[in-house]
Chains A and B, each alone.
Chain A
């Protein structure tokens, strides 16, 4: 493969220049191979394949919402070549058998690289430690009880200490359950207007604080997922300045939508943690810009239409994300806010998540797997959820005009999707 004339951005190597890129046998190489397939990337941007460390592909157990096959197509159509699946499947990914099942399923049906996380506690129950050593041996890249934050601090402390011997980072959905209680949206002006139970930022801030202390105490990395609150950003900033091994991610919806989106009781805007206020958005963006938040992710969470078409407080939390993720990040961070440069944004979608989870990806170095995304950061388009590759349709971005889009997605040296002709298989 010969990718010709693109602006190659490879933050891992500090590269940002127009040049050609060569691929042989699924590996990035220095020399142009004979009879190479030519891809003209002139006027386009060529980056390492994008990585999303927070997706829900719903297999096993909830394949009416999404499958590994359909979820991976969403990833490919969004420019993502690698995803990391959350363990809240049915059964929960807390055993080597389930991990093996997912890995086999991914090998057979996924068009992008699919990595697994394992549960911290059995059944996401928050009490008994999952077989962490066996999960590590089975190849999970992190441990998390995503969606069911471990409430018991003693359990969480022991899990962090135990995971350290395997070098497995923990990823935590930060939500203190007695404070969030039965909340369905951000506690504030809009929950007051709408009479809906509030889920206060405080519930996130408290667990972020807990995780900072545990990471500091144990010296082992903890990653705070989908940060939604301004104060959480400030806590993380202060801790990272002190050198605490704590990291955090931000999602597209938490920097582009606010709790006002729920004013028509549209359950597509119901997500956990909830959409918050313009002030929270400002602080999260500031945190992304100043290096407090080092990873961008989608929290792609499909739910079937009939599950979302219910009273708001009964509807499940979550929204689709992979297909709009790159565009929303570019629209907000690059075009509207001018908060980061394109190479800086690409780092948060490639080498940073790869480093956290020790994946041999996220770079265009010679010898690296040829996962490559060709994109146009200025491509103007309108998202139509009816064109989605997902089995579900729960997107709040339907009908939104966005700038920035993946054009070609290459996984292991093979084009799996391009904008003109769609999926290759």
Chain B
């Protein structure tokens, strides 16, 4: 990987693990410039005019797919959405063949969500089109990691030294892995919180701390990022049930009272109110959950723009 400060020379974004801190800051700075576009009355720039983006979502998603679609539209790209049920994958075509067909139709950018870890990288290595990972199994969700970091930086003015607790189903979470990669590269102190079955000791090799008690981290955290318990991926052998999970790891109102006043409460969505987060807390002081969604647009605009060969926008600031 190139480590030229503040540059981006890649056609793809598959995993934040593949990139240097400088490259990832390049995306964040460019996103800052694009955020202004979304705040304007006329929410469109011609940066990707004439380019075609295919949203290739083989796993269900609304938020991420719409966010990529709007990001592409704001950059003036043409957008096509396809889902698994509407694709030839249902008829037994391989992922690679389907993607090659999209490329033969001259798609410039392919945004892929897929249940298999490594599927974005698999296509990126074999296609000339840009491939953007919108979530590959439990591996990474790079734009979510970027928008989370963007939000922290926007709200707290820095990332270095910030204490971030990520709570929940870490083992199966691509959001957690992208957050860990980016935040540790940018100097944050990350603590993973959850039961040992969902936060196994092997995560300590990623430069993070591990805690099996949310009560241990409440007072010290600058950011608390709550992950959904992913019922569809989980079997009963990982924890006894939602009730016990909420009792031990849920951010209840009572626990929220122990947070620092300025602590950010984050959630990548979709939220299960009353499970990992109390409903009042989700809507209350410190919650930046909807800011995350808004920032996702700016981050995805930056990613699409840079992977299409756009020059980085905005000078790096001293706080990063």
On whether the beta carbons of B118 and A265 are closer than 8 Å, the reply is yes
B220 at interface, CB cutoff 8 A: no
Which residue from chain A places its CB closest to the CB of B116 in the assembled complex? Answer: A311
B119 at interface, CB cutoff 8 A: yes
- Segment touching B, from A111-119, A188-196, A380-388: A188-196
Within the complex, the shortest CB–CB distance from A202 to chain B, in Å, comes to 13
A13 at interface, CB cutoff 8 A: no
On whether the beta carbons of B139 and A195 are closer than 8 Å, the reply is yes
- Segment touching A, from B101-109, B201-209, B298-306: B201-209
On whether the beta carbons of A196 and B205 are closer than 8 Å, the reply is no
On whether the beta carbons of A312 and B96 are closer than 8 Å, the reply is no
Cα distance A195–B136 in the bound complex, in angstroms:
9
Which residue from chain B places its CB closest to the CB of A311 in the assembled complex? Answer: B116
Which residue from chain B places its CB closest to the CB of A185 in the assembled complex? Answer: B117
On whether the beta carbons of B116 and A313 are closer than 8 Å, the reply is yes
B94, B96, B118: the one within 8 Å of A194 (CB): B118
Question: A310-B94, A311-B116 known; A187 and B122 CB under 8 Å?
Answer: no
A42 at interface, CB cutoff 8 A: no
Could you say which residues of chain B place their CB within 8 Å of the CB of A310?
94-96, 122
Q: How many residues of B contact A (CB 8 A)?
A: 24
Could you say which residues of chain B place their CB within 8 Å of the CB of A313?
116-118, 137
| A-contact bits for B119-134, CB 8 A (1 contact / 0 none) | 1011001000000000
Could you say which residues of chain B place their CB within 8 Å of the CB of A265?
117-118, 121-122
Could you say which residues of chain A place their CB within 8 Å of the CB of B267?
none
Could you say which residues of chain A place their CB within 8 Å of the CB of B177?
193, 195
Within the complex, the shortest CB–CB distance from A187 to chain B, in Å, comes to 7
Q: How large is the interface on A (under 10, 10 to 19, 20 to 34, 35 or more residues)?
A: 10 to 19
Could you say which residues of chain B place their CB within 8 Å of the CB of A425?
none
On whether the beta carbons of B202 and A195 are closer than 8 Å, the reply is no
On whether the beta carbons of A312 and B202 are closer than 8 Å, the reply is no
On whether the beta carbons of A195 and B122 are closer than 8 Å, the reply is no
A192, A195, A312: the one within 8 Å of B205 (CB): A192
B200 at interface, CB cutoff 8 A: yes
Residue with the highest number of chain B CB atoms closer than 10 Å, among A194, A196, A310: A194
On whether the beta carbons of A311 and B202 are closer than 8 Å, the reply is no
Within the complex, the shortest CB–CB distance from A247 to chain B, in Å, comes to 32
Could you say which residues of chain A place their CB within 8 Å of the CB of B119?
311
Cα distance A310–B121 in the bound complex, in angstroms:
11
On whether the beta carbons of B200 and A192 are closer than 8 Å, the reply is yes
On whether the beta carbons of A191 and B95 are closer than 8 Å, the reply is no
A217 at interface, CB cutoff 8 A: no
Which residue from chain B places its CB closest to the CB of A314 in the assembled complex? Answer: B116
On whether the beta carbons of B117 and A196 are closer than 8 Å, the reply is yes
Interface of A is mostly: helix
Could you say which residues of chain A place their CB within 8 Å of the CB of B205?
189, 192-193
Residue with the highest number of chain B CB atoms closer than 10 Å, among A187, A192, A312: A192
Could you say which residues of chain A place their CB within 8 Å of the CB of B137?
195-196, 313
| B-contact bits for A394-416, CB 8 A (1 contact / 0 none) | 00000000000000000000000
A309 at interface, CB cutoff 8 A: yes
Residue with the highest number of chain B CB atoms closer than 10 Å, among A191, A265, A314: A265
Cα distance A312–B96 in the bound complex, in angstroms:
12
Could you say which residues of chain A place their CB within 8 Å of the CB of B96?
309-310
Residue with the highest number of chain B CB atoms closer than 10 Å, among A189, A192, A195, A314: A195
Could you say which residues of chain B place their CB within 8 Å of the CB of A189?
202, 205-206
Could you say which residues of chain A place their CB within 8 Å of the CB of B140?
195
A188, A196, A306, A314: the one within 8 Å of B139 (CB): A196
Cα distance A196–B122 in the bound complex, in angstroms:
14
B17 at interface, CB cutoff 8 A: yes
Residue with the highest number of chain B CB atoms closer than 10 Å, among A193, A196, A306, A311: A311
Cα distance A192–B207 in the bound complex, in angstroms:
12
On whether the beta carbons of B94 and A312 are closer than 8 Å, the reply is no
B174 at interface, CB cutoff 8 A: yes
| B-contact bits for A191-220, CB 8 A (1 contact / 0 none) | 111111000000000000000000000000
On whether the beta carbons of B174 and A195 are closer than 8 Å, the reply is yes
A421 at interface, CB cutoff 8 A: no
A336 at interface, CB cutoff 8 A: no
On whether the beta carbons of A309 and B94 are closer than 8 Å, the reply is yes
On whether the beta carbons of B117 and A312 are closer than 8 Å, the reply is yes
B138 at interface, CB cutoff 8 A: yes
Within the complex, the shortest CB–CB distance from A191 to chain B, in Å, comes to 7
Within the complex, the shortest CB–CB distance from B28 to chain A, in Å, comes to 22
A264 at interface, CB cutoff 8 A: yes
Could you say which residues of chain B place their CB within 8 Å of the CB of A192?
200, 202-203, 205-206
B113 at interface, CB cutoff 8 A: no
On whether the beta carbons of B121 and A311 are closer than 8 Å, the reply is no
Question: A192-B200, A193-B17, A195-B140 known; A311 and B206 CB under 8 Å?
Answer: no
Could you say which residues of chain A place their CB within 8 Å of the CB of B136?
195
Within the complex, the shortest CB–CB distance from B272 to chain A, in Å, comes to 22
On whether the beta carbons of A196 and B95 are closer than 8 Å, the reply is no
Within the complex, the shortest CB–CB distance from A184 to chain B, in Å, comes to 9
Could you say which residues of chain B place their CB within 8 Å of the CB of A196?
117-118, 137-139
Within the complex, the shortest CB–CB distance from A404 to chain B, in Å, comes to 32
Could you say which residues of chain B place their CB within 8 Å of the CB of A195?
117, 136-140, 174, 177
B212 at interface, CB cutoff 8 A: no
Could you say which residues of chain B place their CB within 8 Å of the CB of A312?
116-118, 122
Cα distance A265–B136 in the bound complex, in angstroms:
12
Could you say which residues of chain B place their CB within 8 Å of the CB of A191?
202
Could you say which residues of chain A place their CB within 8 Å of the CB of B206?
189, 192-193
In the assembled complex, 5 residue pairs joining A and B whose CB atoms fall closer than 8 Å, in A order, are: A196-B138, A265-B117, A265-B122, A312-B118, A313-B118
Q: Which residues of A contact B (CB under 8 A)?
A: 187-189, 191-196, 264-265, 306, 309-314
Extra inter-chain contacts (4) besides given A189-B202, A311-B114, CB under 8 Å = A195-B137, A195-B140, A309-B94, A313-B116
The 6 A-B pairs at the shortest CB distance, nearest first, are namely A265-B118, A195-B139, A195-B138, A311-B116, A192-B202, A189-B205
